[in-house]
Amino acid sequence: MSGPLRVLVVDDEALARARLCTLLGDCRAPAAQAAAQAANAVQAMQYLQHQRFDLVLLDIHMPGTDGLHLAQALQTLQQPPAVVFVTAHAGHALQAFELDATDYLTKPVRLERLQAALQKVERLLQARGSTPSEAAESEEVLLIQDRNRTERLPLSQVIYFKAELKYITVRTATRHLILDSSLGELEDKYGERFLRIHRNALIAKHAARALQKHHDPEEGEGWALRLDGVTELLLVSRRQLAAVRELLGRG
């Protein structure tokens, strides 16, 4: 992508807009410019219908149509810009990510945090410039609630999902995260990329490495699966053993 990111700054407070414009001017990797400012959703849509923007920095609490409803309206555009919410209130984070926001910044915005958000936008725009299948895979994410914040975790980083009591453990190469979902829902949604190997576990197909004999205190002699990126073994149920062997055979 050539040139700085073109940004539309939307906030009903003039001082907030001015501060964001100043911060944008200080960003370097990637560079960005405040190409226009709007004080409300109506002004923003007028700009968006006549100019191209890479990103909208969008306040949530505004008179009239709020930022969440404006973000929803942006999705109807033929080439919608990326959206990064900027707000003094953290309570709308989950709604923001459900609207496919690229990031969520809280006021007062720090330069390094804005720069990190712009880097996410740059990666998103690069993904959109690839083939549709590559873009869809790169953009597929899980919404993880962690300590009163919402994180977007790329599905490609997940090695396995495991049912633990009322929640699902999401395992990556470096982290254990908690997801409020069920294995059934995850299997229905991501069945092309994940395989059920046990009543309590779904594994990423690309991570399956090898089967080995294993003794479990509760289930006795059986089989376990070794996965790339993690040291622990996952039990394989007798019912799913043939499917796992077929997957390894294809690899």
181, 122 contact by CB (below 8 A)? no
Please report whether residue 187 resides in a domain: yes
Please report whether residue 149 resides in a domain: no
Sheet of 55-58: strand order equals: 32-38, 5-10, 55-58, 82-87, 103-106
3-class secondary-structure state, position 217 = coil
45 plus 96 within the same structural domain: yes
Q: Which residues pair with 82 in a beta bridge?
A: 55
Please report whether residue 177 resides in a domain: yes
User: CA gyration radius for the chain?
Assistant: 22
48 plus 160 within the same structural domain: no
CATH for 52: 3.40.50.2300
The b/e string for 168-189 (b: 16+ C-beta within 10 A; e otherwise) is bbbbbeeeebebebebeebeee
CA distances from 48 to 53, 75, 93, 123 (A): 7, 12, 24, 21
43 plus 10 within the same structural domain: yes
Token duo for residue 204: 């990423």
Q: Which residues pair with 55 in a beta bridge?
A: 7, 82
**Residue closest to 56 by CA, chosen among 117, 129, 144:** 117
What H or E segment, with its residue span, contains residue 96? helix 93-98
What would the pLDDT profile of 190-199 be if each residue is shown by its tens digit? 998 999 999 9
95 plus 195 within the same structural domain: no
Please report whether residue 70 resides in a domain: yes
In the predicted model, what is the mean pLDDT of residues 63-78? 85
Please report whether residue 143 resides in a domain: no
Please report whether residue 36 resides in a domain: yes
CATH for 177: 2.40.50.1020
76 plus 24 within the same structural domain: yes
Mean pLDDT of the residues in the chain: 86
Give the C-alpha separation, 51 to 45, whole Å: 10
Question: pLDDT band at residue 113, thresholds of 50, 70 and 90?
Answer: very high
Could you give the number of structural domains in the chain? Answer: 2
What would the pLDDT profile of 188-238 be if each residue is shown by its tens digit? 999 989 999 999 999 999 999 999 998 877 777 899 999 988 889 999 999
Which of 111, 138, 165 represents a domain boundary (last residue)?
Answer: 138
Please determine, for residue 135, whether its predicted confidence score (pLDDT) is greater than 50.
Answer: no
113 plus 167 within the same structural domain: no
81 plus 117 within the same structural domain: yes
Poorest-confidence range of 8-12, 134-138, 139-143, 246-250?
134-138
196 plus 115 within the same structural domain: no
Please report whether residue 144 resides in a domain: no
213 plus 174 within the same structural domain: yes
- Residue-number span of the structural domain to which 91 is assigned: 5-138
- The pTM assigned to this predicted structure is 0.52
pLDDT at position 136, please?
Answer: 41
What would the pLDDT profile of 143-182 be if each residue is shown by its tens digit? 887 666 677 788 888 999 999 888 999 999 888 999 988 9
222 plus 133 within the same structural domain: no
Give the C-alpha separation, 161 to 206, whole Å: 14
129 plus 203 within the same structural domain: no
115 plus 197 within the same structural domain: no
pLDDT at position 17, please?
Answer: 95
**C-alpha 23: how far from chain center:** 25
pLDDT: which is higher, 92 or 13? 13
Give the C-alpha separation, 89 to 180, whole Å: 23
Please report whether residue 145 resides in a domain: no
Which of 84, 112, 138 represents a domain boundary (last residue)?
Answer: 138
pLDDT at position 131, please?
Answer: 36
